[in-house]
Amino acid sequence: MENFYTYIIYSKVFDKYYKGFSTNPKQRLVQHNLGESKYTSNFRPWELVHIETFTTKKEALIREKKLKKYSKAQIIELSNSHLNKINELG
């Protein structure tokens, strides 16, 4: 069974966050850092700071939409919370 993920990446150089959806967040990070995403290509390098796992694409997309409204403070708090599954990804 395939998992679906929301992820947050961070650019230290530009102090900027980006929130997205993927079935493979680690591979998606590589794509962001290779400049394959138009929106994020000018803010490289990126690091993965937050991941949440979902069993359906719909759940993940709904969560991504909510994350896009989060402030920087909310993102930092979220990344330090038990919801962050970044260490559970192999």
pLDDT attached to residue 61: 98
**pTM for this model (two decimals):** 0.95
pLDDT attached to residue 32: 98
Task: State whether residue 11 is helix, strand or coil.
Answer: strand
Q: pLDDT tens across 4-55, in order?
A: 999 999 999 999 999 999 999 999 999 999 999 999 999 999 999 999 999 9
Give the Cα separation of 35 and 20 in Å (integer). 15
Task: Determine which helix (DSSP H) or strand (DSSP E) holds 26, and give its type and residue range.
Answer: helix 25-33
Architecture of the CATH domain 4-88: 3-Layer(aba) Sandwich (3.40)
The closest of 17, 16, 14, 11 to 64, measured between CA atoms, is: 17
